[in-house]
Chains A and B, each alone.
Chain A
Amino acid sequence: MPVLSELPTSTLVLWGLATLLTLLLLGRMIAVNQCRDFPLFCVYLSMNLLQTAVGVLLYQRYGFTSTFAYRIGWATQAFVVAARALAAAEVCYLILGKYKGVWALAARILSCCGLLVLSLALWFGRNGYQVGMATLEIGLEASIATCIAGLFLFARYYHIRILSLTGMLGLGLGMLSCFKILNDLVFERLAKRYGDAWNLASSGAFVAILLIWIWALRKPVSVRFPGPQLSPVKVYASLIPQVNRQLVELNERLTQLWHLESPKS
């Protein structure tokens, strides 16, 4: 591998390790049938592997200085980011999808927030980047991280418990996005001095997050997501009048309050 050997050993090791861990994770998910629970997450992992394969072929053929290879490399990144966005949407659905009403609301709000953040990132970064794809990547990563954070906030607000597995997947996706943004920003700002370290940091962060995902998905049994324990109709029928009585009582107190004299001063 004459071209790849030009890379620093540490970068090559981390790149290889990331590829190996991705293969391990994907293979394990397929073997224990977890792909059925996280199909889009598996697509994302597959896209990652595909990007690595394309990258190796490109750089071997055209070298690191080729503009063509550089552009294609960034273009493949767009597909990977889009796949990650879909995986993030899948995590959102797995956490909130069971609660139909809340999910319908959250999907609208999170989509709007994601689009807003993407638009803002594209607008404010429109003149600053050497490669347009980097701007797009920052925007997409920011919208993914915002959606994941918004999802967790929704769950927190409605007291919906997040399973450790889905939480870790979401956290990994969100943290990866945050790291990519920081990495791209610093790379853009300090490109000349930062060169190799950028690759190293990027691979290192991905390896760390892969390890989190492997740990989260360590259980071989396919995870089932129990639906919310909705109360049966009879419970509702007995519960609602009880609540209504309490609220009527509250209203009566309110009415008493209205009948009080207004303050003197």
Chain B
Amino acid sequence: MSAGFFIIAVIGTLGLAGLLFWSLRGASHRKTVDHGFHVFDSAPRHLRNMAQIRQAMDRADLEYAAEKGGQQLSARIRSERRRVTLLYLAAIRRDFEQSLRVARIVAVLSPEVSGSQEYERLRLSMVFRLRFYAIRLGLHLGNVAQPQILALGQMTASFAMQLEETMARLGERAALAAELALQSEQ
């Protein structure tokens, strides 16, 4: 047995043991998925501000401010807009997390789960988080990342569309079941 394999195997096993504790701790401390109505109360609602955010981050807008009000004003506007953009980013993330929660409930309550849909959601959420942190870092470093933020917002929306399809299918099943129950009662 090579020393390399030995070290990798030992580290891997210790990591696995740590993962066991971490994941069990998370699963046993959390409440069971909430099946109540209120989960659906706060639908994604921050996309309506996308146009203002786009405007606020427009380079031409800032150049105009610098030209008319000077560099000091431009810097102040840039700083304020960056703060607003960060808040907007956080709001987009909340929207996304909310949609994920709804999707989890749908998956848990569904007798059939599509592997590709679940994988897609997992992939989307990973990509979302990566982009989210990359954009936030970029904003903190002073880079205005308009295209990336737009991509994030679009990702949230496309995910919600997927949810709609799933929910519609569940709705059809529920309607069919209700009809069957009604027939059996008659």
Contacts and interface: CB of A to CB of B under 8 A. Distances in A.
Contact of B115 (A105, A256, A263): A105
Contact of B16 (A108, A145, A230): A145
A138 B5 CA distance: 13
Given A233-B174, A250-B160, A263-B54, A161 B168 contact: no
B23 A153 contact: yes
Contacts of B47: 250, 253-254, 257
Chain B facing A: main interface SS: helix
The 9 lowest CB-CB distance pairs between A and B, nearest first, are: A101-B113, A128-B1, A152-B23, A240-B171, A236-B174, A246-B43, A155-B27, A247-B164, A159-B33
25 contacts: A101-B110, A102-B113, A104-B113, A108-B115, A125-B1, A149-B19, A152-B20, A152-B26, A156-B30, A159-B30, A159-B108, A171-B24, A174-B17, A178-B16, A185-B6, A188-B1, A228-B109, A230-B35, A231-B109, A243-B102, A244-B164, A244-B168, A246-B43, A247-B167, A260-B50
Q: Which of A237, A246, A265 has the most CB of B within 10 A?
A: A246
Interface string A225-263: 000111101101101111110111111011011001001
A239 B37 contact: yes
Given A247-B167, A257-B51, A265-B58, 12 more contacts: A101-B108, A128-B5, A157-B104, A167-B28, A178-B20, A234-B178, A236-B171, A242-B40, A244-B168, A247-B163, A251-B157, A263-B58
Contact of B23 (A149, A159, A164, A256): A149
Contact-residue bracket for chain B: 35 or more
Chain A facing B: main interface SS: helix
Interface in A164-185: 164, 167, 170-171, 174-175, 178, 181-182, 185
A148 interface: yes
A7 interface: no
Interface in B97-116: 102, 104, 107-113, 115
B181 interface: yes
B62 to A, nearest CB: 10
Interface residues of A, number: 69
B168 A251 contact: no
A248 B157 CA distance: 11
Contacts of B50: 257, 260
B152 to A, nearest CB: 12
Interface in B6-36: 6, 9-10, 12-14, 16-17, 19-21, 23-24, 26-28, 30-35
B123 interface: no
A105 B113 contact: yes
Interface of A: 99-102, 104-105, 108-109, 124-125, 128-129, 138, 142, 145-146, 148-149, 152-153, 155-162, 164, 167, 170-171, 174-175, 178, 181-182, 185-186, 188-189, 228-231, 233-234, 236-237, 239-244, 246-251, 253-254, 256-257, 260, 263-265
A239 B160 contact: no
Q: Which of B14, B43, B146, B177 has the most CB of A within 10 A?
A: B43
